[in-house]
Structure 1
Amino acid sequence: MMKQLKDKVVVVTGGAQGLGKAMCERFAYEGAEVVYSLDLQKGNLTADNVRHQELDVTNIAEIDSFIQSVKEAYGRIDVLVNNAGVTRDALTQKMDDNKWESVMDINLKGVFHMTKAIAPIMMENGSGSIINISSIVGLYGNIGQANYAATKAGVIGMSYTWAKEFTRKGAAVRTNVIAPGFIETDMMKTVPEKVLQPLRDQTPLKRLGLPEEVANAALFLASDESSYVNGHVLSVDGGLRL
C-alpha cells in the first residue's frame, strides 16, 4: 500500500509530546522523507526519519536559521504543522499582562512567524500543506481562557486569509485548521476527574479523544487525499459544543 506522505519534508512545531508527538509518529510511519520535530523539550521519538531540533517559535532568528538549513538540505518543505501552544489560564479580571502576552507570543505570533518563513518556499515550489492547530475553545470560548481563546480564534482568521493569499499566484499551497476538542494528553492528566467526567458526558461520543485521532485528521490534510481542501476548519471533538 502506498504511503500517504512518501518522500515529503514535514515540519511540526511542538512535536515532542502530546498531539505533536502523535502527528510526528504518524507522518514518519506514512513514509515522510524527514519529519522535523521542533520543540524546546527533548522528545523521545525514535523513528529514523524523525529529527528533533530545539527551537523557540518566538525567536525569529532561530526560525530563519532552521528554515535555511532545511532549504539547503532538501530544497523544499512540503508540510508545516503549527502545533506549539501553551495555556496560562485565569479569569479575565485576574489575568495579568504576562499571562496574556506569553500566550499571544507562542500561540499566535509563533504561528505567524513560522508560516511567514515557510510559505514562500512552498509557493516557489508550487505546492504545500499548512495545518494550523486551533481548538474548540477558539470556536466557542471557555471560562478562564480569554487569552487562549483569542489566539486560537486568531489562528482560524489567519488561516482563512492564507488560504487566499498563498494560492493567489497559482500555487497549490493549501491552509487548513484542525480544532481539537478535549484530548487525552499529558496536560489533561492533571485535570481532576470531577472536571473530566462532565466533559465526557457533554460529548455525544461520551469520551475524550485520542492524540492518534487528531493525527489521523492531520494526515488527511497533509496528504494529497485532501488536494481540494483549502480554508477549512476540521473539528475533531466528538461532537462537543461548549
Structure 2
Amino acid sequence: MRIELEGVTKIYNRGESNEVIALQRVDLAIASGEMVCLRGASGSGKTTLLSIIGCIFPPSSGRAELGGKKVSRLPDHFLCRFRREKIGFIFQDFNIIGDLSVIENVSLPLFPAGVSGKDRTERAAALLSSYHLMERAYFKVDSISGGELQRVAICRALINNPPVIIADEPTAHLDSGLATSFMDSIAQLKKQGKTIVIASHDPRVFERVEIDRVMDVVDGRVLPEVDQQSGFRDVVNERSVVLGD
C-alpha cells in the first residue's frame, strides 16, 4: 500500500501558551512494499509522523493518503475502521496485556471487527503456529521469554492481515540477539509485500540491508534521505523528500 503525505503539519494545543509544532509541512511518499526507517532523536517528531501515517489522528493541515484513499479528513469512526483493517502496529514496549494469554493477546484486535470466538481462535492459532509459538498459546504472556514476547507482538500486528506495518522504536529495550531476531522477522514481512515504516535511531535497524531508505526527522522536518549505498544524502533523485520552508 502506497503512503503519501503532502504539506503535513501537526500542532498540539494550537493557540495556547503551550502550543507545540510537532511537524512542519512534511511531504513524503513511500511506495507499496518498501521498508523505510524514520531516524531521529526523542522529540524530533517521528512518533507524531508515525501516528499520522497510522491514522491514529489527523494532521492539523495538509493531506495524508494511504492506498489512494484520503485519510486526513475522514470522520473518526471511518478512520478507526480503516486503521483496524489496514494498519498493524508494533509498539516500543509491545503493549501486551499481562493478564491475558498469548492467544488472547493476539486475537484481541479482532473483537471490534465482530469476528466470532471460533474464528478468532483459529486465525490467532494459525499465526502462532507460523511463528513457532503455538505451544505457548495458553501461557500468560508474563511467563514467556523476551524473544517469544516480540513474536507475540508481531502476530498481533498481523492478525487482520494489514498491508502496512508500523513499528515505533521496536528494538529500544532489546539486546543484540533479540534485536537481530526481530529485524529478521520484519524482513520476512517485507518479502511478503508489506509496506513497513519503522521509527528508530538504532543502527541495528537503519543499517539493515533490507531498509530501502533512511529519512532523518529533525525538529518536525524530514531531511533529504540517505542513499543506503553511498551514504550521501539524495537531494536530486525523484524519491527525495521535499519540505516546505
TM-score normalized with structure 1 length:
0.32
Larger Rg: 2
Q: Which has the higher contact order (CA 8 A, sep 6+)?
A: 2
More helix by share: 1
